[in-house]
Amino acid sequence: MIAELQCVVLDCPEPQSLAEFYRSLLGGNVNQPDRRWSLGESWATLHTPSGLVLAFQQALDHVPPRWPDPTRPQQFHLDLGVPDLDRAQEEVLAAGGTLLEGSDGRSWRVYADPAGHPFCLVRH
């Protein structure tokens, strides 16, 4: 092992608002003091209860993926485990997420966050 994962960073136009969106889904603390990062208008963090840290970096010319369009691929996405897909979907939509693909009887659904990054809710 040569490294330790510190966080996952998402480019976006508005770091603070995207951190708040993911806090509404995952819980945790936005911009918790942490010696590893300087906080400011162009950078925000979310320390989740599970220990995962998501960071949000301002990209003024951010062009979101267009799922499932291969000309603007998602490159990576987050899978978030939930016990009840219908209830979680209501909360995601109320927080500003967008449904991209329904379940069609599957155990997962695809959404976009307010900056256009795809993520999945997966029934566990």
User: Tell me, what's the pLDDT at 119?
Assistant: 93
Q: Is 112 helix (H, G, I), strand (E, B) or coil?
A: strand
3-state secondary structure 61-75: CCCCCCCCCCCCCCC
User: Do residues 19 and 45 lie in contact, with contact meaning Cβ atoms separated by under 8 Å?
Assistant: yes
Q: For residue 92, which phi and psi values (nearest 5 degrees)?
A: -60, -45
**Global pTM?**
0.86
Render each residue's pLDDT in the chain as its tens digit; 124 residues.
777 888 999 999 999 999 999 999 999 999 999 988 888 889 999 999 999 999 999 999 999 988 888 898 877 889 999 999 999 999 999 999 999 998 778 899 999 999 999 999 999 8
